Each structure stands twice: as structure tokens, then as C-alpha cells.
Amino acid sequence: MNNIRIRRPPAFTLIELMIVVIIIAALAAMVLPRLSGRSEEAKIAIAQADISSNIAMALKLYDLDNGNYPATEQGLAALLIKSSSSPVPLNWKGPYLEKKSIDPWKNPYQYKCPGEHNPSTYDLYSLGKDGVEGTADDVKNWE
């Protein structure tokens, strides 16, 4: 028989593969800490947009139609369903919102009218990540 050698294509050695894995791990170690805080920042931005724009616009439309904001007892639900409690909205043209107002942390937005911080209008806020009122992570329509 002939001594014919079949040439194999060159392959990676174990050391070369380990170097690639180490480089990928080093890159991930540099990138991941920068991305980890971004999701929380995005949730805060969403809550701020809801409070200052989306829900605020719905409340303004409700006020224009009915001459007042919903009472604290009626809450933000009055923007979805016509309230039968006092003050009954006489010219309700809602729904003013498409869905129930839930913040990015899956908690309902808090609403008080008249507000403690905005006595002539309303206080609207999210309890933030910790879900506790009065902490630093609250997102609110005052200050």
C-alpha cells in the first residue's frame, strides 16, 4: 500500500480557544456594567413621560370637558370609565386613556386632587422602584 497522507485542515489549539474566551470575557466585563443601569434610567424616563405628558394630557382633557379634575376618590379610573360618584362628570367624553395607568415597575400611578404639593390642580406620581411613598426614587409632577 502506498503511504499517502491525508492532510487535515488546520485546527485551533486549546490555548488559542482559551485566549479567545478570555478576550470575550474581558470585553463583556467592560460593557455590562455600563448597560446595567440603563434599564432603570429608561423606566424613570417612561414614568416621567407618563406623568408630565400622557396622563397629564388626559387629565387636562377631562378638566376641559367637565370643569374639574377627578376627585381623589374617583382616581385615574375616572379617565377610563365615567364615574358615578361626586363630582359626577356631566360632559364626560372619554375614555381619556387607552388603558389603566401602571408605572414601569407594575404599580399604579398615585393621584390626589386637590394635591398637597399642587393645591390648585393635582399631585400625580409613581412610587418608583421600591414601591414606597416619599423615597428618593419617586417620580412626581412637582419640584
Domain ranges of the chain: 41-140
User: What is the structure's pLDDT at 57?
Assistant: 94
User: What is the structure's pLDDT at 114?
Assistant: 94
Q: In this structure, what DSSP letter does residue 127 have? A: -
Q: State how far the Cα of 82 lies from the Cα of 62, in Å rounded to an integer.
A: 11
Are 42 and 52 in contact by the 8 Å Cβ rule? The answer is no
The SS3 assignment for 39 reads helix
Of 3.10.580.10, 3.40.47.10, 3.40.640.10, 3.30.700.10, which CATH number belongs to 41-140?
A: 3.30.700.10
pLDDT in tens, 85-115: 989 999 999 899 999 989 999 999 999 999 9
User: What is the structure's pLDDT at 52?
Assistant: 92
Cα separations in angstroms, 73 against 28, 115, 130 = 50, 13, 24
User: What is the structure's pLDDT at 32?
Assistant: 72
3-30 as b/e: b if 16+ CB within 10 A: eeeeeeeeeeeeeeeeeeeeeeeeeeee
Please give the grid coordinates belonging to residue 8: 487535515
Q: Kindly tell me if the per-residue pLDDT of 138 is higher than 90.
A: yes
